[in-house]
Structure formats: C-alpha cells, structure tokens
Structure 1
Amino acid sequence: MSYYVQKAAVLGAGVMGSGIAGLLASVGIRVVLLDVVPNELTEEEKGKGLTKESPQFRNKFAIAALERILNPKTMMLYKKESAALINTGNMTDNMDMISDCDWIIEVVVERLDIKKQVMKEVEKHRRPGSIVSTNTSGVSIREITKDMPKEFRQHFLGTHFFNPPRFMRLFEMIVLEDTLPEVKECIVNLARNTLGKGVVFAKDTPNFIGNRIASMSSAEVLRLMIRYDFTIPLVDQLTGEVMGKAKSATFGTADLVGIDVFTNVAGNVINSMDDPKEKELFTHPGFVHELVKAGALGNKTKHGFYKRISKKESMYWDYKEKEYKPYLPTVPEAVKKALASDNKFAAIVYGEAPENKFIWDHTKALLLYSSAKVPEITEDFKMIDKAMKWGYNWEKGPFQIWDAIDPQRSIARMKDEGESVPAWVEQHLKDNGGCFYNKDTGIDFAYINLSNQGAPPVAANEDATLRDIGDGVLCLEFHSKGNSISDKTMEMLRTATEELKKDWIGLVIGNRSKNFSAGANLVGIATLAKERKWDSISEHVKVLQSVNMALKYAPKPVVAAPYGMTVGGGAECVLHSSYAVPHAELYMGLVEVGVGLVPSGGGCKECLLRSAERAGGATSKSLLPVLRSAWRGIVTGSVSANAFDAVDKGFLRQETRIILNPDALIDEAKKSVIELASKGYLPPKPSKVLLLGDYGRAVFFSEIEGMRGGGYMSEYDMHIAKKIAFILTGGNAVNGTLADEQYILDLEREAFVSLCGEEKTQERIEYMLNNGKPLRN
C-alpha cells in the first residue's frame, strides 16, 4: 500500500497542537484541528447570547488556537494565507472530520487514560490505512495502544515534536513491533523532506532521548554545584558557551522555559522508573522545589534562579542564604583559557582549577550515562548526538564531545577513578581508529559534506574555499568571521567565476554555519574611513560591484543557498545569483542604514531592476508604488521574517523553491544547477531600466519629511534616506530616462564613499563593531 499525507488531523489545540497545525498548514497540508468541548459558559459568553449548543462555544478551544496561530507574534505560520487550510471543530461533535485524514496526530493532556480513550474514538472514525501517532513526551507508546486492533497498531507510532514545532528541528520517532515499515517510511520522508525535521529513532522509554539526556545532565549540574559550593552565576559560566551550549546555560535556560517545566520533565522520568538509583539521578535538590512552591518560576514570574532589576542589573538566588544577591558577570580564568584555545572542550575538561574539575565530573557523568543508555533508549549512539544538537542546540552531542577530549585519555582517567566504561564503547573505538566518528565524514552521511574528503578544494584562501561537489558542480564556501564579504572572499568569488569559463557546469554558493553571511567586513571599512583613504574605499566598492556583476553574467548558472542571517553584502551576493534555493528560515535584507551607509554592491540597483520586473510595465505610474515599497525596506533596514516573506519583499523571485531541511540545502542547490545547465542555461542580457527621476524623488522626499515629523526618523536617518531615494530614482536624471546598470552602481558608490566621510556614520560603524547593535544618532 502506498502512503502519503495531504490532509492531517491534530487532536488537541494547546500550544503544541497549535504549533503542529501551523507548521503542517505552512507546507500546504490541509488540517483539521479539534479540541474538547468546554465545561461551562463564561459570563461574557452568556452576555453574548451563547448557549452550550452554540458552535462558537463548543469549538472555543480550537477557535482560540486558530487565533493564536494567526497572531504574528507566535510565528507559527510562514505566511498568514496558510491558515485558510485549517478547519476547527471539537472532539465530541466533529470526529467525523478525521475520516478522510491521512495522518491523525494526538496531542492531548499527558495522561494515559485520556490518551487511550481518544484512541478508541479515533478508531471509530478513521479510515482503514490512515496513520495515527501520539506526540506524547512521557507516556508509554506501547501502553496507549496495547488494547487496540492489530490494523490500528500497524499504522501507529510515536512522533514527538519539540516546541516550538516551526523552529525546533528534533523529531523523535518511536516505532513499535507492529508498525508497518511503509508507515515508518512515509512519516520519515514527510518529516525530513517536507517539514524539515531531523529525525531520530528512539525506543519506548521514559522521555525518549532528548529530554532523558538533558534532564540527567541538568540534575548532575545541580548536584555538582552543591558539592563544589559554586554559585548559580559561576555554574552558568561553566555550562554555557565553553561547553558548546547556549549562553543562557543551565539556570538561565531553566528561567526561560520555566522552573516548573524544568522540574516536571525530570519528574516524568522519576515517575516512570522503578530503579531507585535511576530515580536519584534525576532528583533535583530541595531548593529548586522550594522556588517552584514559592511561585518563583523564572522569566514568566519575573524571578526564578535570577531576578532582573534593570537592563544592566540582575540578582541571583543564593540557595544557601535563601535570598537574592547582586552580582557582576565575571568569566573564570579557566573559561577564558579554554575559549582562547584551539579545542575548548579539552581545555576546560583537563585542568587543575576547581572549575576544570567541576566540568570534568559533569562531562564524565554525561558520557558514561549516555553510553550506558545504548541500546536501551536507542540502537545507535549517533541518535543521542543528533537529539541533543537538534533538540537542545548543543554545539556537540555527548559522543562528539568524547571525540573532542580524546577518548583514550578520558577513558584511562575514568578507570583510574574507579568508573566502568560500557564494553561496546571500547569495542567501537577499537574498530573505528580510536574515535566515535570518522573525522572526514562526521555525524551525517546522507548529504553533501563540505570537507576535504567529501568535497575536495579547487582553490582556497583564509576566508573562502572553492570545492568540487561532484557532477561538474563547484561550491563556494564562505568561512570568514560571520561569513562576512571580505577582500579575501571577493577574491574567491572572482576565482569562482573565472573557473566557470572552464569545463564546470555551474556554481553553488553555500556553507554550513550559523548564518549564510553577516554582510560586509566593517572592520576594514572603519579602518579606511579613519585613515581618510577615500580612494581605497571607492576601489573596494568597485571590486565588490564587479564581482557581483561577474556572478550575474557568469556563463554558467550560479545558485545561492542562503539561510539564517543573509544581510548587506551577503544579500547582494544572493541578489546577483542566477537563482536561489533558500532555507525557509531566511532573514534577508539590506541593512546598511543601521551603520550609516547605503547598499553599494549592487543592492540598490537590483531592487530597482526587480521593482521594474514586478511592476509589469515600463511606466512611471506602475513603477512608483513597487519601488516605494523597496525604498522603504532599505531605509528601515527591513529583514524578511522567513524565505516566503523574502519572496513577498522582492528579494527572491516568485518561482523560488524553498527548502525546509537545512541539511539538504546544498544538495538541492546542486540539483538546481544541474537542471539549469541541462536546459541550456544562458546568462541574462544587460538591459536598461526606467528611472523615476525628479518625479519619484519628490514623492520619496515628501514621505521622508512626514516620517521625520512623526518621529520615525532621526535627522541623520533622513539624510541617508534621501541618498537612497537619490540612487533609486536615478540621481539627477529626469523622469522617464533609461539607464544601464553601471549608472546606478556609480550612484551607489558615490553615496557610500561620501557617507564614510561623515562623523555620524563613523560613530554608527564603531558602535556596531563594539556593541553588536545599531546606533540611531
């Protein structure tokens, strides 16, 4: 039997159910969203004349969920139009709505008796062959369906999304003995390729993989903190960036998610365990439960492990004195040394300072526990690493950390300290050259790997590498700081376009980092501006412009694979590519105004050209409203909320194919290069563009005065906005003039150089470099 998902039902319209429904609708799957019928009418509902039979009352929870999904602040949808695919109802009157659904997802309260009752109702209304899954994070999958018919069990599995479903990649799948292989394959393909999830296969054990390992790790941190007599802020310094975790570390993260949630997740494991030693591993010290009892739950109650007094002042909970105390964040010397080393993991684990010993004890406990749970919670240790990276944003999973600190050295120390290492670990290391992972291929073998072995270099320098990714396709990988467009990066962009004159069929511009590109190298610009080297700045801009034009008119297709922050010069690189295959989470924009500058690598030019395309005509009247929208975006430094929004903003073309699986991004971009080449790709022909001249400029200047008068712009913002308007309307040209691209590029360059000479621009650049955020002076 062939399985597919075109329509899904989500049973349970809470925060998680809403998030799942929003994600499914965002990718084009029709959704039925149902919840229970409320018990009683509120006084407000009675005042509106509603009765217990009113659909508005009976569907109240699902209707509220749809409103939540539509709220832009929740970011549950990529585009609001997708909400039209969601139909609401309730689980008493409308279970017939699931009869034509291909996938039915249960997301109700975490109680076995309620979940079993829901499954009985699902069985009455589902069509045979439809897939059913539970999103439980703590209830036994097997227990939920043990009394259900075999056909039901054959189409049943666990599918644990992490919250929020749009942003969290981890998707834990629990397949039981009766689950058909075709059912598993259908949901795996859907999760990976359509929803963009990282799928890990877990066994039906308490809290599965991610929450199990994370809860144990956090409980161990709490125990060690008390044993070492460390403070909460010190422990957060030790368990954050230096160990490849979020800066919020242990206690800041607990405040963020809620200390009650933090303890409940551990409680789920404790309540499901029979082994007293295992229960003890997950037990939190008394002071944590005291905070929960006192209502100190973290950020949502404005105090928890920390208490924010002002933007610059915080206090922490002294668990011994039972009071909040002020503190100034200080970084221990051991952490400073580790962060400055080539291998921060080994540097922080091996040392004589108390902080080093704390981290060793914690790391040892994490590694031994994780390895002891193979094969109990999963057959493959790599699943644990993936779960922690995708579900908790760890830089490295436990076994990757083990590789980083030298498995042989660490195991010898563990044994000296009386610990036992699972036999499978030593056997695996023996069979695999002394490490858990092959250093060239890494954690995942399914996708193109940008390593010397997976993609040999054709040319390289300090900031970029040009690689052969097979089938005649090149890939240019940025690896400068922030993937910024430096002089070295531009040099490799030039090399790439020269290589395209040879036997290669095309080029991908892509990388695997936190962001595609943070834009221009501001340090170099700031230095030249301070030294008043205006000719050097002008020449720098000329080179950037010529490189981007070479990309645009390259003889072979150039496909960009942007993701994450793609701003300034990074956005201009994408704008000049033949085609883009972006990840859905794309935050793209021309943000130069934040540092007192204008886009100068052809960004303004491309916005003008694309506005003319979108206007669909060669008249000033049709061009003006579209160009005004583009001008506003540049003036306000607007960044797309996602790739779909980037299409709406004109940064990407309507036919752009958007990818949700970030691991597949370079593979998909490569496919696009091959497809374009197979169709006989020809570069675009240079064309002229209509200029609005004084007519358009008068309109824009009038709007600028209004924005300044309304307090939306500083005087210097207004100055920059006028320069951008001057460029987009063609400088001193009259309305109706036709100009080539070089004319607009010259206007960009002149404005950029002149602004570099202004004190307020230099202040903005300096502020951004020192503080990481814009100055509005």
Structure 2
Amino acid sequence: MNKTLAKDTAHKTASRTISKAAVIGSGVMGSGIAAHLANAGIPCLLLDVVPKSPSAEDEKAGLSLGDPKFRNKLATKAIAALPKSSSAPLYAADFVERITPGNITDHFHLLKDVDWIIEVVTEKLEIKKSILKQIEEVVKEGTIVSTNTSGISVNAMVEDCSVNFRRNFIGTHFFNPPRHMKLLEIIPGYDTDPQITAFMADFCTKRLGKGVVLAKDTPNFISNRIGTYGLLVTLHEMQENNYTVEEVDAATGPVLGRPKSATFRTLDLVGIDTFVHVAQNVYDSVPAGPEKDIFTVPDVLNELVAQGWIGEKGGQGFYKKVKGEEGSKILSLDLSTMNYNPSAKVRSASIEAAKAVKGSKKKIKAFLGAKDRYSELAWNVLKQVLVYSAEKLGEIADSIEDIDNAMKWGFNWELGPFETWDLIGLPESVQRMEAEGLVVPAWVKEWIAAGNRSFYEQKDGAVFHFYKGAYKEVEIQPEVISLQSLKAQNKVIRQNSGANLIDLGDDVACLEFTSPNNAIGADILVMIQQSAEEVRNNYRGLVIANEGRNFCVGANLMLMLMEAQSGDWDEVDDIIRLFQGSMMKLKGLEKPVVAAPHRMTLGGGVEACLPADRIIFSAESYFGLVETGVGLIPAGGGCKELALMTSDRYRDPDSDLQPELNRIFEMIAMAKTSTSGHEALRMYGRRHDSVVMNQDFRIYEAKQAVLEMERAGYQPNLPAKARVAGRDGRAVLQVGALGLKNSGYISDHDYLIARKLAHVLTGGDVAQGTVVSEQYLLDLEREAFLSLLGEVKTQQRMQHMLSKGKPLRN
C-alpha cells in the first residue's frame, strides 16, 4: 500500500468502516470476492439477475417465475458451490452463512444498507455503465462503490454518473482466486476522493489481507499489461526460433524466478480464451505502432479458441492429459502440426546450472550466465519485458515498487522487473540491450549517467528506490516487521547454521529458522535452548517466526532415517530427548512466548508452536501433525500437548474425555492438515490463539502479544498434569482402528501405528482418570517413536517421502 497516501488522510478516514457489503454478479469472480469478504468477517449480499424462465428441473421442483427460490437461483447456486469448490474460496465451510443470496430486481433497494458495493458483472462497458447507473439511484450518501474489472476503463464506466457518485467510485481489481491471490490493484478515477483511495488501500491491506498497488486507469492496469506483453513476446520468440512448448516452459519457469507453470501451463490455467480477451483489450486501446503489433493476437491462439482448446477448462490447450493402460500421460501441442505428442523432458547446461544452486536470485544469475539456446530464449524475452516495464513507468503506475509488487503478487514472479534488472546488473545489461538493437528509455540511461548502478539501494537498514528521478525511501507500514532488514542492521543476537535469534526492538527477540525448508535439526534445537536462556536474562519475551516460504516442514527426516538404518539407537534417543527438552524449555520460559506460523507448518513445526503461550496463525496456515504419513507418531511433545489440552478442557473429574480423544486421535492418525488458519484454530487452538489476515503482519502482531502479556504481569507456566482415559479409552480407540483395518481402509502397518498412538494419547497402561505428568507422556511418546522407527515399513515410508515427496501406504 502507498503509505504516504494513507498517512496524509488517516485522520480523516479513521471513523469510516465497512461492516456490510454487497457484490453484484455471482459468477466465479463475484462469488469468490463475496467468499473472501465472508472470510474477513464481513456479511455480504450476493445479487444476480432473475433467470428468464424456469428450467425443466425448476418445474419439477415446483418452482415458478414468482418463487423467491427461483428468482434468487443464480446467487443461491453460486453460494452453495463455494464450500465444495476445488479452489477452496472459504477459510471455513460455515463462513458461507455470512453470504445472503438475492437478485437485482427484488433486492436492489437493500444496497442502501451496505457500506461497500462491488460490481462484478460481465466485462462489457455498456453493461457495467448500466448497472452502475442503477446503483447510483439507490445508494446512500458516502457508500463506496467499486468495479472489479481486469482492464476496462474505470472512468468510462461512470462518465454518465454524477460527480458526487464518482467521488466514491473506484476500481478494485481482485485476482482470481480472490482468497489465494495476494494482489489487489486499486484504480482511482479522475474524480475519486483521495480519502476514499487511502481508506480502501488501508482497509484492503489490513482487513482483507491483500497486497495493494495503486494503478492508473490504463488498459489492463499494471500486472495484466506487463504479464500479457511478456507472454506474447515469448510466443513471438518461440515461433521465430522454433522452440517447443516444453522448451519454452523449461526456460521461463523457476530458472527465471517464475512459477512452475511458466508460460504455457499458465495460459492453460488462466484460459486461452480469457488471455485472448485481455490481449485484445490492449490492442483495441493503443495507437498503431510497435506496441499494438506485439498485442496482435497470434493466429495460433485464435485457432485454439476456435477449436475449443482453451486450456484446463476445455480439457486441452497447450497441454493435454490422457489416460492409458500405464496411467495418465501429459501430451504437449506441436504448434507446427497442431498435433499432440508425448511431453519431453528438457535438459541443458543452463537449466542444470540453475538447478545446482539455491535461491531464486542465484538461479536466475546462473541460468542467464550459462550461455546456450535456452538461456538465450530467456534473455530475449526478459530484455523486452524490462524495457517495456520502464517505458510504461508513469503511464500505468508512478512507482517502480508498485510495478514490481504487481508482478510478484499477480503473476507470482520471485522478483519484479526492476528488481530483476538490478540483479543482472543495470549498466551492463543496458549496454548489452543497446548493442543488440533495443531502444532503452531515456530516463533509464539518464539515471545510469548520473552515477546510479541500480533502481534500489540499501543504506543504514533502509531501502530506497527510484522515484521520479531520485532515490526515495521505501516506506514500510508499522505493522510490517522485516527480519531480513533487521539482519542487515546487525540486529542478530545469536546465530548458527540453522537458526537466528534477532532483536525485534522493545526488548523482544525473534527465533528464526533458516535451515533448508526450515526443517528442525540439532542446530535449531540448540538455538532454541540458547534463545530461552538469552530471553530469560535479557528480554521481555520471544516470538517464533520466520520469512521462509513455509514456516516449517517438520523434523529432519533424512537425519532420523540415516541414524535408524545405521542402528545408532542411542543417537536417535538423544535427538528425541533434545527435541522434547527444547520444547519444554520454551514452555517453561519465565517470559511470554508467541509463535506466528504461516503456510506449511507440519509435524515438528506444529510441536514448536504448541508450547507457546499464544499462536497467531496466518490466515493461510496449513497446520498439522502428519508424522503417521511416514510411519511415525509425534514425539516432540505434540501428543503430550494435545492430551494436556483435552484434560484442561474437561477439568471436571466426572467429565468424559473420550469424544475429544476420538477427535484428536483421528486428526493425528489420518495426518489431517488445516486448510486455513481459521481451521487450524478449530483443530488446535487454545483460548488466546488468533488469526491474522495479512501474513505480512504476523511478526508485528506476535510482538504486540508478547508486550501485552508482559505488561499484564506474565505468569510462567508451571509443570502441568493431565487426567487421562487410560486402558479403557485406549481400547475404544483401538477398536475403531481395528474396524478400519478389517474393512480394508487401513493397512496392518497403519493399524500398528494407530495402536501406538492410542497408547500414548490415553496415558498408557493405567486406569481411567489417572493423573500423569508431562514427562510421563513424553516418555510414552519417545518409546513409541523409537519402536516405530525400527520397523522396516516405517523406514520404507520415510525413504519414499524423501525421494518422491509423497506418502507410501504399505
């Protein structure tokens, strides 16, 4: 978000709020936006047109033209589909209850009761103009009205509306699917009140968790303008130099800092017909010249659309999946013959050079530096995209930061165009571009001539970027804490090969995992113990968080497997004891501890969070104890913590622990993982745990929670005891597992794992109602883990997971 804009008008917009919204149009985007509003706790009306006439199915159900069920049919059907959608638009299935269906004939008057109306009707200017004019007639004073469009002029839509209406009108371009795509392009109109722009940028960042960029009202705005250009340039290079579909994707995917879907898989996912529409939008809007030539839709795309080969939704596009006797195969399209052939693996020196290094920046440099046919393709595409981005600065957006963020958040690039330009060397690359006949914008050459060697610059822990001819500091929201920036400011307190302890300020420290995939090994466990001592002596509290792609994928599986296969059981026992002891040190720390997990938080990652006083889940948290998938059970305190939580929730000695134990047993035995932070809260959450919508705010919120607890007079956790279900409870769980085995749902080895798990969760061979210590439960965990690790089938599962990346059911 543009912080300066928000700051200048914050005092004027502080009193404004959005407590209820309405979405007009219940298609894929409309229903998806309504779902995300529901995710944010905003009740929403979802309105669509009344169907023209009842279908045979309607008549069979007794629905007539005047029946409300029939008249609301489109919106009702869209809402009903949300919990079942493969794109999982809702954080929790019951959030659907926050959406109310209706139609624009009978319920338009209800728009006067909402604070934000989002128009998401067909991408045709005249239809949008008509619906917005109707909205103007019923809307109350001050209601914000926005349009979700991928590229139609925001100003043209409301040219027939009053100035007063236009002051509260703005473009809000959500990317599909709205829950999962971070980018939200906000497009102010000529008459949009700056206070509305500032409020919407702030609200959508904080409440909806979006990455907001300010775009100008130009064809396709920022992300689609540059992204579409890049895809078309790639097609031109492909046809000119006879590359195959697979070769293009190999050279324009992760090796170039782009998603695995690269070019053609992306087009298949987006829909080739949709892409053609977006490209045509620019073609129709720009004057004759080189840019219009680039946006001329290639004949091959028009042919694919004509044949219905429009990608995944059409069953085939540039790729086609076919089933044969040996299973499914992926075919790729030969554009010269329009026939499908088996997809071929692409190998080259440049691709292998990129794969040999870790980190997107190193990959890009290694790939482009290894000169061959594929790196040449990538360079020929990249140089044109960089120059085009520079040409459009000032036209599509004023800030290179907005352009870079739009491409990272909208197209999932690792680096934006200007960040990439810095990476490959600005002066050197410009010199090469010009030598190859490319015309580089004058402002870029002037910037270099002034002695600047990059668009971004770091100085004294702050980041500066090019802005209208000078360096301007990148303003960071107070709610965003960057560990990378703090490390650049020498705020590291302790470090080793797997973790850092970082000073967050205000005497709060942060434990950051840095190992590959943030997997927990001995280095992280040692740092946990050292961090506990450091915080105990010198800090007010501890945050556990990191900026990796995922919070933690679990314990170091390879290490465990190697030790088991070598028969060094004493070493394995020591590692488990170290893990358990480290978690107990966190739990017993005399200062508050808050964990802030994000995205994949599995196995040992969950166990590193459970000892914390509070967990602040990112909305996108996939949280679960998944050890049974590799033939083990949690042994870092996960079973123990859930047994304690069950006992704590049912403190009355006469209360029945069994229903909750059944739930927990199934959750762990089936290796269930939450699909969101909200679901994680329901599965694992305690009274004080919470969810933060914007993942970028999680470290700040965790720090604030530490300070809040410390100011309130934090009382450390005392050693806990658990009332357990004992032999009787274990029998219930094991009978359930036996039934699944006898029915063929689980294997003999699954049954063995389930029996061990049941033994631990219920407290072992004791009477029902026995009260046991934490250490007693930890010992049960460790014994079960060691026993299972010695099983050949468990080791086979571990090996399969390490080599194939998916579980083996043996």
Smaller-chain TM-score bracket? over 0.9
Q: 2:512 aligned to 472, 477, 481, which one?
A: 477
SS in 2 for 1:458: strand
State the 1:282 CA deviation. Answer: 2.0
* Cα contact 2:592–2:710 (8 A) shared by 1: yes
State the 1:49 CA deviation. Answer: 3.0
Select between 280-289 and 668-677 the one with higher mean Cα deviation.
280-289
Q: Which residue of 1 aligns with 2:120?
A: 107
Q: 1:218 aligned to 214, 231, 240, which one?
A: 231
SS in 2 for 1:98: helix
Q: Which residue of 1 aligns with 2:662?
A: 628
Structure 1 residues 100 and 432: alpha-carbon distance in aligned structure 2, compared to 1, 3 A threshold? farther
Q: Which residue of 2 aligns with 1:379?
A: 398
Q: Which residue of 2 aligns with 1:143?
A: 156
State the 1:81 CA deviation. Answer: 3.0
Q: Which residue of 2 aligns with 1:531?
A: 566
State the 1:761 CA deviation. Answer: 0.7
* Cα contact 1:612–1:618 (8 A) shared by 2: no
Q: Which residue of 1 aligns with 2:476?
A: 445
- Residue 369 of structure 1 aligns to which amino acid in structure 2? Y
Q: Which residue of 2 aligns with 1:179?
A: 192
Per-residue Cα deviation, 1:458-515 (whole angstroms, up to 9, x for no partner): 1111111111111111111111111011111111111110111222111111111211
- Residue 135 of structure 1 aligns to which amino acid in structure 2? N
* Cα contact 2:625–2:672 (8 A) shared by 1: yes
1:50 matched to 2:63 = yes
SS in 1 for 2:617: coil
After superposition, residues 383-398 of structure 1 pair within 5 angstroms as: 383-398=402-417
- Residue 102 of structure 1 aligns to which amino acid in structure 2? D
Structure 1 residues 543 and 196: alpha-carbon distance in aligned structure 2, compared to 1, 3 A threshold? same
State the 1:276 CA deviation. Answer: 3.8
* Cα contact 1:616–1:622 (8 A) shared by 2: no
Q: 2:183 aligned to 170, 174, 191, which one?
A: 170
Structure 1 residues 454 and 424: alpha-carbon distance in aligned structure 2, compared to 1, 3 A threshold? farther
Q: Which residue of 2 aligns with 1:323?
A: 339
Query: Partners in 1 of 2:700 and 2:452 — Cα distance?
Result: 29
- Residue 675 of structure 1 aligns to which amino acid in structure 2? E
Q: 1:703 aligned to 736, 751, 755, which one?
A: 736
Q: Which residue of 2 aligns with 1:747?
A: 780
* Cα contact 2:349–2:372 (8 A) shared by 1: no
Query: Partners in 2 of 1:5 and 1:627 — Cα distance?
Result: 41
1:189 matched to 2:202 = yes
Structure 1 residues 688 and 147: alpha-carbon distance in aligned structure 2, compared to 1, 3 A threshold? same
Moved over 4 A (4+): 427-433, 439-444
Q: Which residue of 1 aligns with 2:696?
A: 663
Select between 290-299 and 554-563 the one with higher mean Cα deviation.
290-299
Per-residue Cα deviation, 1:269-298 (whole angstroms, up to 9, x for no partner): 222223342222123422222122112122
SS in 1 for 2:529: helix
Structure 1 stretches of 5 or more lacking a match? none
SS in 1 for 2:657: helix
State the 1:669 CA deviation. Answer: 0.9
Query: Partners in 2 of 1:432 and 1:688 — Cα distance?
Result: 67
Query: Partners in 2 of 1:179 and 1:48 — Cα distance?
Result: 47
Select between 180-189 and 456-465 the one with higher mean Cα deviation.
180-189
Query: Partners in 2 of 1:707 and 1:734 — Cα distance?
Result: 26
State the 1:726 CA deviation. Answer: 0.5
Query: Partners in 1 of 2:552 and 2:653 — Cα distance?
Result: 34
Structure 1 residues 753 and 430: alpha-carbon distance in aligned structure 2, compared to 1, 3 A threshold? farther
State the 1:339 CA deviation. Answer: 2.8
Per-residue Cα deviation, 1:207-247 (whole angstroms, up to 9, x for no partner): 10111111000001101111221111011100111011111
Select between 735-744 and 342-351 the one with higher mean Cα deviation.
342-351
State the 1:188 CA deviation. Answer: 1.3
After superposition, residues 186-335 of structure 1 pair within 5 angstroms as: 186-310=199-323, 313-335=329-351
Q: Which residue of 1 aligns with 2:468?
A: none
- Residue 378 of structure 2 aligns to which amino acid in structure 1? I
Q: Which residue of 2 aligns with 1:467?
A: 502
State the 1:699 CA deviation. Answer: 0.5
Structure 1 residues 109 and 72: alpha-carbon distance in aligned structure 2, compared to 1, 3 A threshold? closer
Q: 2:619 aligned to 561, 571, 584, which one?
A: 584
Q: Which residue of 1 aligns with 2:759?
A: 726
Select between 379-388 and 46-55 the one with higher mean Cα deviation.
46-55
State the 1:677 CA deviation. Answer: 1.0
Query: Partners in 1 of 2:457 and 2:27 — Cα distance?
Result: 43
Q: Which residue of 1 aligns with 2:418?
A: 399
Per-residue Cα deviation, 1:685-742 (whole angstroms, up to 9, x for no partner): 1121112111101101110111112222111000000000011111111212111000
- Residue 460 of structure 1 aligns to which amino acid in structure 2? Q
State the 1:430 CA deviation. Answer: 6.3
Query: Partners in 2 of 1:566 and 1:408 — Cα distance?
Result: 42
TM-score by length of 1: 0.97
State the 1:69 CA deviation. Answer: 2.4
After superposition, residues 441-590 of structure 1 pair within 5 angstroms as: 441=462, 445-446=476-477, 447-451=480-484, 452-454=487-489, 456-590=491-625
* Cα contact 1:432–1:438 (8 A) shared by 2: no
Q: 1:435 aligned to 436, 440, 454, which one?
A: 454
State the 1:341 CA deviation. Answer: 4.2
Query: Partners in 2 of 1:356 and 1:30 — Cα distance?
Result: 50
Query: Partners in 2 of 1:734 and 1:430 — Cα distance?
Result: 82
Structure 2 stretches of 5 or more lacking a match? 1-11, 464-473
Q: Which residue of 1 aligns with 2:789?
A: 756
Query: Partners in 1 of 2:657 and 2:448 — Cα distance?
Result: 65
Q: 1:345 aligned to 353, 359, 364, which one?
A: 364
TM-score by length of 2: 0.93
After superposition, residues 151-162 of structure 1 pair within 5 angstroms as: 151-162=164-175
Query: Partners in 2 of 1:94 and 1:547 — Cα distance?
Result: 59
State the 1:111 CA deviation. Answer: 1.1
Identity %: 42
Query: Partners in 1 of 2:85 and 2:247 — Cα distance?
Result: 37
Q: Cα RMSD over matched residues? A: 1.7
1:95 matched to 2:135 = no
Query: Partners in 2 of 1:441 and 1:237 — Cα distance?
Result: 36
Query: Partners in 2 of 1:709 and 1:267 — Cα distance?
Result: 60
- Residue 402 of structure 1 aligns to which amino acid in structure 2? W
Q: Which residue of 1 aligns with 2:46?
A: 33
* Cα contact 1:10–1:21 (8 A) shared by 2: yes
* Cα contact 1:3–1:182 (8 A) shared by 2: no
Per-residue Cα deviation, 1:353-382 (whole angstroms, up to 9, x for no partner): 122211111110010001110000000011
Query: Partners in 2 of 1:760 and 1:247 — Cα distance?
Result: 33
Query: Partners in 1 of 2:306 and 2:167 — Cα distance?
Result: 44
- Residue 144 of structure 2 aligns to which amino acid in structure 1? I
Query: Partners in 2 of 1:141 and 1:180 — Cα distance?
Result: 14
Q: Which residue of 2 aligns with 1:67?
A: 80
* Cα contact 2:246–2:344 (8 A) shared by 1: no
Query: Partners in 2 of 1:431 and 1:731 — Cα distance?
Result: 74
State the 1:560 CA deviation. Answer: 0.6
* Cα contact 2:280–2:297 (8 A) shared by 1: no
* Cα contact 1:559–1:578 (8 A) shared by 2: yes
SS in 2 for 1:774: coil
State the 1:334 CA deviation. Answer: 1.2
* Cα contact 1:559–1:581 (8 A) shared by 2: yes
Structure 1 residues 383 and 428: alpha-carbon distance in aligned structure 2, compared to 1, 3 A threshold? farther
Query: Partners in 1 of 2:61 and 2:223 — Cα distance?
Result: 46
Query: Partners in 1 of 2:787 and 2:450 — Cα distance?
Result: 63
Per-residue Cα deviation, 1:130-159 (whole angstroms, up to 9, x for no partner): 111111112110011122111111111101
Structure 1 residues 327 and 8: alpha-carbon distance in aligned structure 2, compared to 1, 3 A threshold? closer
